[in-house]
Amino acid sequence: MRINRVLPLAIIINTSALASSIIHDTDGTPGRVTYYNQTALNVMVTQSSSAYDIRVYAPYPGNELPCQHAAIFEKYTHTHLADVQINGSILTAQLERGHEHKEKYIEVQCIDNSNSSVRLRHNIAPAPKIKLKSKMTASHWQDGDHLYPGFYQDVRYQATLNIDNSEETGFCTASSIESDAPLKLEPWHSDGFINDIISFDEPTYYDARTATISAQIVCRNTGGTTRMVETWKLNQNNITRDISTYIN
Protein backbone atom coordinates (compact mmCIF):
# COMPACT_ATOMS: atom_id res chain seq x y z
CA MET A 1 0.00 0.00 0.00
CA ARG A 2 1.39 3.27 -1.03
CA ILE A 3 0.93 6.16 1.32
CA ASN A 4 0.71 9.54 -0.26
CA ARG A 5 2.13 12.27 1.89
CA VAL A 6 0.91 15.76 1.45
CA LEU A 7 3.65 18.19 2.23
CA PRO A 8 2.47 21.49 3.68
CA LEU A 9 3.23 24.49 1.59
CA ALA A 10 5.61 26.74 3.42
CA ILE A 11 4.84 30.31 2.72
CA ILE A 12 7.66 32.56 3.70
CA ILE A 13 6.79 36.19 4.05
CA ASN A 14 9.68 38.59 4.27
CA THR A 15 8.92 41.66 6.28
CA SER A 16 11.29 44.52 6.63
CA ALA A 17 10.92 46.30 9.91
CA LEU A 18 11.14 49.98 9.42
CA ALA A 19 13.74 51.04 11.92
CA SER A 20 13.11 54.44 13.42
CA SER A 21 15.89 56.93 12.93
CA ILE A 22 17.27 58.38 16.15
CA ILE A 23 17.72 62.12 16.56
CA HIS A 24 19.91 62.77 19.58
CA ASP A 25 19.82 65.80 21.83
CA THR A 26 21.19 68.41 19.47
CA ASP A 27 23.86 69.87 21.76
CA GLY A 28 24.66 66.58 23.50
CA THR A 29 24.36 68.01 27.00
CA PRO A 30 21.46 68.22 29.45
CA GLY A 31 19.50 71.45 29.62
CA ARG A 32 16.00 72.86 29.77
CA VAL A 33 15.49 73.17 26.02
CA THR A 34 16.40 71.08 22.98
CA TYR A 35 15.56 72.38 19.49
CA TYR A 36 15.08 70.13 16.47
CA ASN A 37 15.16 70.93 12.76
CA GLN A 38 12.77 69.59 10.13
CA THR A 39 11.33 66.72 12.13
CA ALA A 40 8.20 65.77 14.05
CA LEU A 41 8.92 68.11 16.98
CA ASN A 42 10.39 71.57 16.98
CA VAL A 43 11.41 71.59 20.62
CA MET A 44 11.32 69.71 23.92
CA VAL A 45 11.37 71.67 27.19
CA THR A 46 11.80 70.13 30.64
CA GLN A 47 9.40 72.05 32.86
CA SER A 48 10.00 70.08 36.05
CA SER A 49 12.81 70.26 38.60
CA SER A 50 12.10 66.94 40.27
CA ALA A 51 14.06 63.70 40.39
CA TYR A 52 10.84 61.70 40.59
CA ASP A 53 8.05 63.58 38.79
CA ILE A 54 9.11 64.48 35.25
CA ARG A 55 7.20 66.91 33.06
CA VAL A 56 8.28 67.83 29.52
CA TYR A 57 6.58 70.17 27.05
CA ALA A 58 6.80 68.80 23.49
CA PRO A 59 4.61 70.68 21.00
CA TYR A 60 4.22 69.46 17.43
CA PRO A 61 2.61 72.35 15.55
CA GLY A 62 3.73 71.11 12.13
CA ASN A 63 2.38 67.60 12.57
CA GLU A 64 -1.22 66.64 13.19
CA LEU A 65 -0.26 63.15 14.31
CA PRO A 66 0.65 62.89 18.00
CA CYS A 67 3.70 61.02 19.14
CA GLN A 68 2.92 57.39 19.81
CA HIS A 69 5.26 56.34 22.59
CA ALA A 70 7.81 57.79 25.00
CA ALA A 71 10.05 56.46 27.76
CA ILE A 72 12.95 57.52 29.99
CA PHE A 73 16.32 55.72 29.93
CA GLU A 74 19.70 55.99 31.64
CA LYS A 75 22.00 57.78 29.23
CA TYR A 76 25.03 55.49 29.21
CA THR A 77 23.51 52.06 29.85
CA HIS A 78 20.23 52.76 28.00
CA THR A 79 18.41 51.00 30.83
CA HIS A 80 14.67 51.58 30.71
CA LEU A 81 13.55 53.55 33.78
CA ALA A 82 9.93 54.49 33.13
CA ASP A 83 7.25 54.78 30.49
CA VAL A 84 6.00 58.26 29.74
CA GLN A 85 2.37 59.30 29.51
CA ILE A 86 1.55 61.45 26.49
CA ASN A 87 -1.25 63.95 26.95
CA GLY A 88 -1.16 66.15 23.89
CA SER A 89 2.01 68.20 24.09
CA ILE A 90 2.64 67.34 27.76
CA LEU A 91 4.79 64.33 28.66
CA THR A 92 4.83 63.09 32.26
CA ALA A 93 6.55 60.23 34.07
CA GLN A 94 7.27 59.00 37.60
CA LEU A 95 10.74 57.67 38.41
CA GLU A 96 11.58 55.39 41.31
CA ARG A 97 14.22 56.35 43.84
CA GLY A 98 17.80 55.31 43.18
CA HIS A 99 18.39 57.12 39.90
CA GLU A 100 18.79 60.66 41.24
CA HIS A 101 22.47 61.06 40.30
CA LYS A 102 22.35 59.39 36.89
CA GLU A 103 22.08 61.30 33.64
CA LYS A 104 18.99 60.30 31.68
CA TYR A 105 17.19 60.99 28.45
CA ILE A 106 13.58 60.96 27.37
CA GLU A 107 12.96 59.30 24.02
CA VAL A 108 9.81 60.13 22.07
CA GLN A 109 8.71 58.10 19.07
CA CYS A 110 6.82 60.15 16.50
CA ILE A 111 5.79 60.29 12.86
CA ASP A 112 7.36 63.20 11.01
CA ASN A 113 5.91 65.19 8.13
CA SER A 114 7.23 62.69 5.57
CA ASN A 115 5.38 59.87 7.38
CA SER A 116 8.63 58.39 8.67
CA SER A 117 9.11 57.08 12.18
CA VAL A 118 11.64 59.01 14.25
CA ARG A 119 12.85 58.76 17.84
CA LEU A 120 13.86 62.08 19.38
CA ARG A 121 15.98 62.27 22.51
CA HIS A 122 16.19 65.02 25.10
CA ASN A 123 18.76 64.81 27.92
CA ILE A 124 17.93 65.22 31.60
CA ALA A 125 20.68 66.07 34.10
CA PRO A 126 21.46 64.25 37.34
CA ALA A 127 20.09 66.00 40.40
CA PRO A 128 22.44 68.73 41.71
CA LYS A 129 25.20 67.66 44.08
CA ILE A 130 26.10 69.82 47.08
CA LYS A 131 29.14 69.02 49.22
CA LEU A 132 30.18 71.10 52.22
CA LYS A 133 33.22 70.80 54.49
CA SER A 134 33.13 73.26 57.37
CA LYS A 135 34.20 74.01 60.91
CA MET A 136 33.21 76.53 63.55
CA THR A 137 35.62 77.89 66.16
CA ALA A 138 34.47 79.93 69.13
CA SER A 139 36.26 81.71 71.98
CA HIS A 140 35.81 84.26 74.76
CA TRP A 141 32.70 82.92 76.44
CA GLN A 142 30.65 85.59 78.15
CA ASP A 143 28.52 84.47 81.07
CA GLY A 144 24.89 85.42 80.99
CA ASP A 145 22.75 87.00 83.68
CA HIS A 146 19.11 86.85 84.72
CA LEU A 147 18.09 88.55 81.46
CA TYR A 148 20.43 87.20 78.78
CA PRO A 149 22.05 83.80 78.23
CA GLY A 150 25.78 83.36 77.90
CA PHE A 151 27.43 83.48 74.49
CA TYR A 152 30.71 83.31 72.62
CA GLN A 153 32.06 86.72 71.79
CA ASP A 154 34.24 85.54 68.90
CA VAL A 155 32.96 82.97 66.40
CA ARG A 156 34.64 82.10 63.14
CA TYR A 157 33.31 80.00 60.26
CA GLN A 158 35.55 78.25 57.73
CA ALA A 159 34.17 76.15 54.89
CA THR A 160 34.51 74.90 51.33
CA LEU A 161 31.30 74.52 49.35
CA ASN A 162 31.28 72.43 46.16
CA ILE A 163 28.24 72.63 43.86
CA ASP A 164 27.76 70.56 40.72
CA ASN A 165 24.63 71.35 38.71
CA SER A 166 25.71 69.31 35.64
CA GLU A 167 24.06 71.82 33.29
CA GLU A 168 24.19 75.52 32.46
CA THR A 169 20.58 76.14 33.44
CA GLY A 170 21.03 74.80 36.98
CA PHE A 171 20.83 77.48 39.66
CA CYS A 172 21.12 77.81 43.44
CA THR A 173 19.99 80.06 46.28
CA ALA A 174 21.12 80.35 49.89
CA SER A 175 19.18 81.59 52.89
CA SER A 176 19.59 81.82 56.66
CA ILE A 177 17.24 79.79 58.82
CA GLU A 178 18.53 80.89 62.22
CA SER A 179 20.87 83.81 63.00
CA ASP A 180 22.86 85.54 60.27
CA ALA A 181 24.47 82.43 58.81
CA PRO A 182 27.68 83.02 56.83
CA LEU A 183 26.79 80.42 54.19
CA LYS A 184 25.88 82.72 51.30
CA LEU A 185 25.98 82.76 47.49
CA GLU A 186 26.54 85.45 44.92
CA PRO A 187 23.57 86.87 42.94
CA TRP A 188 24.82 85.25 39.73
CA HIS A 189 24.45 81.80 41.27
CA SER A 190 20.69 82.17 40.79
CA ASP A 191 21.10 82.86 37.05
CA GLY A 192 22.48 79.47 36.02
CA PHE A 193 25.92 77.80 36.22
CA ILE A 194 27.38 74.33 35.80
CA ASN A 195 29.58 74.10 38.91
CA ASP A 196 31.49 76.19 41.40
CA ILE A 197 33.74 75.90 44.45
CA ILE A 198 33.33 78.58 47.12
CA SER A 199 35.50 79.18 50.18
CA PHE A 200 34.44 80.89 53.42
CA ASP A 201 36.63 82.22 56.22
CA GLU A 202 34.95 84.94 58.21
CA PRO A 203 33.63 85.96 61.62
CA THR A 204 29.98 85.32 62.28
CA TYR A 205 27.38 86.31 64.83
CA TYR A 206 24.47 84.47 66.33
CA ASP A 207 21.47 84.91 68.57
CA ALA A 208 22.45 83.77 72.06
CA ARG A 209 18.82 83.02 72.90
CA THR A 210 18.71 80.19 70.35
CA ALA A 211 22.45 79.39 70.37
CA THR A 212 21.96 78.26 66.78
CA ILE A 213 23.38 79.15 63.38
CA SER A 214 21.55 77.50 60.50
CA ALA A 215 21.40 77.98 56.73
CA GLN A 216 20.25 76.15 53.63
CA ILE A 217 21.43 75.85 50.03
CA VAL A 218 18.83 74.89 47.40
CA CYS A 219 19.87 73.96 43.85
CA ARG A 220 17.55 73.12 40.96
CA ASN A 221 18.05 71.70 37.49
CA THR A 222 16.18 69.47 35.05
CA GLY A 223 17.08 66.39 37.09
CA GLY A 224 15.83 67.47 40.49
CA THR A 225 15.97 69.82 43.45
CA THR A 226 18.65 69.31 46.11
CA ARG A 227 18.36 71.01 49.50
CA MET A 228 21.21 70.99 52.00
CA VAL A 229 20.69 72.27 55.55
CA GLU A 230 23.58 72.95 57.94
CA THR A 231 22.90 73.67 61.62
CA TRP A 232 25.37 74.59 64.36
CA LYS A 233 24.56 74.52 68.09
CA LEU A 234 26.88 76.62 70.24
CA ASN A 235 26.86 75.80 73.94
CA GLN A 236 29.51 76.67 76.50
CA ASN A 237 30.97 73.18 76.67
CA ASN A 238 30.06 71.85 73.27
CA ILE A 239 29.74 72.96 69.63
CA THR A 240 27.86 70.53 67.42
CA ARG A 241 27.13 70.39 63.71
CA ASP A 242 24.30 68.69 61.85
CA ILE A 243 24.06 68.54 58.08
CA SER A 244 21.25 67.00 56.04
CA THR A 245 20.64 66.71 52.31
CA TYR A 246 17.26 66.20 50.70
CA ILE A 247 16.46 65.46 47.05
CA ASN A 248 13.11 66.00 45.45
pLDDT given for residue 65 in this prediction: 60
pLDDT given for residue 199 in this prediction: 98
What's the predicted TM-score (pTM) here?
A: 0.87
Given a cut of 60, whether residue 88 has pLDDT beyond it is yes
Q: Which amino acid is at 5?
A: R
pLDDT given for residue 11 in this prediction: 32
φ, ψ of residue 188 to 5 degrees: the values are -70, -15
Given a cut of 60, whether residue 74 has pLDDT beyond it is yes
- Identify the CATH number of the domain defined by range 21-124: 2.60.40.10
Averaged pLDDT score across all residues of the chain: 90
Given a cut of 80, whether residue 4 has pLDDT beyond it is no
Please state the rounded mean pLDDT for residues 5-24.
51
- pLDDT-wise least confident of 22-31, 152-161, 238-247: 22-31
pLDDT band for position 198 (cuts 50, 70, 90): very high
Q: What is the pLDDT of residues 28-66, one digit of tens each?
A: 889 999 999 888 898 999 999 999 999 999 987 665 666
Give the percent of the chain with pLDDT over 70.
90
Q: What is the pLDDT of residues 137-188, one digit of tens each?
A: 999 999 999 889 999 999 999 999 999 999 999 999 999 999 999 999 999 9
Per-residue burial over 91-130, b if 16 or more Cβ lie within 10 Å, else e, is bbbebeeebbbbbbbbbbbbbbeeeeebbbbbbbbbbbbb
Question: Strand ranges (DSSP E) for 36-150?
Answer: 43-46, 53-57, 69-74, 80-83, 85-87, 90-94, 104-111, 117-124, 129-142
List the domain boundaries for the chain. Answer: 21-124, 129-247
Please state the rounded mean pLDDT for residues 226-245.
97
Q: What is the pLDDT of residues 121-138, one digit of tens each?
A: 999 999 999 999 999 999
Given a cut of 70, whether residue 6 has pLDDT beyond it is no
pLDDT given for residue 64 in this prediction: 62
pLDDT given for residue 66 in this prediction: 67
CA distances from 63 to 21, 34, 60, 87, 115 (A): 17, 18, 6, 15, 10
